[in-house]
Amino acid sequence: MKFFIDTADLTEIRDLAATGMVDGVTTNPTLVAKAGRDFIEALKEICALVPGPVSAEVTALDTAGMLREAEKLRAVAKNIAIKVPMTWDGLKACRTLANDGVMVNVTLCFSANQALLAAKAGAAFVSPFVGRLDDISQEGMELIADIRDIFDNYPALETEILVASVRHPAHVLEAARIGADVCTIPPNVLRQLIRHPLTDAGIAAFLADWEKSGQKI
């Protein structure tokens, strides 16, 4: 499973990219606003740091507007993926862009039927928001399982399942068990994946034993 980082914070991306764990980045207007950076300039820097797909979201709600904004975003770098909303206009824009060889990420997916529509529209990625479903007492990961089952029935569908709205390490684990293609993870959650109390205890014990030995490397 590929790991994308869900942030527009250059410091976080730079630090995590150094681990070799970052396969791509997802951004949205909210994340860009939090970063306090010029959107286009931030995208240029992110694309230079990460060779994989960098999702940049349009803000227009009509197809023509989405395509105009997509043209500007595509000019930033070759690894830009255009993020469009799960609407009829978004799907029309997706089909036009996909026909032109552009990676498209269809976002705000909350049902398996929506995911199927995105795939048929030629999306490179569809982004089901598991955390937001959990927030309204639905099982977000059940949606990922349903989409995986449907896509596996039709090998001609090449759309990758990009698990979004990830809130905790259990979401990442379940996404991997189900067979999602990508998980886009906030930096703080990615860092949590490495933590385990027995790892910390083991390191402490080894260091204590080494100190007793009186040796040095």
Under DSSP, is residue 36 helix (H, G, I), strand (E, B) or coil?
Answer: coil
Enter the CATH code of domain 2-213.
3.20.20.70
Stretch (H or E) spanning 82? strand 80-85
Angle 177-182-188 from CA coordinates, rounded to 5°? 90
**Residue 91 pLDDT:** 98
pLDDT of 120 reads 98
Ramachandran quadrant class, 122 (left: phi over 0; alpha: psi -120 to 50; beta: rest): left
**Residue 48: partners with Cβ closer than 8 Å, 6 or more residues away:** 77
pLDDT of amino acid 38:
85
pLDDT of residue 175: 98
CA dihedral 144, 4, 176, 137 (to 10 degrees): -40
How far is 11 from 116, CA to CA, in rounded Å? 36
Sign of CA dihedral 204, 209, 215, 217: negative
The label of the residue with tokens 């977000």 reads: 140
In the chain, where are the structural domains located? 2-213
Residue 27, pLDDT score: 87
Locate all alpha helices (DSSP H) within 60-111, ordered by sequence. 63-74, 88-99
pLDDT averaged over 10-residue windows placed end to end, the chain, 217 residues: 95 93 89 81 92 96 98 96 98 98 98 98 98 97 98 97 97 98 97 94 91 88
The answer to whether residue 216 is catalytic is no
Among 83, 120, 212, 216, which one carries the catalytic annotation? 83
Among 137, 139, 120, smallest CA distance to 128 is for: 139
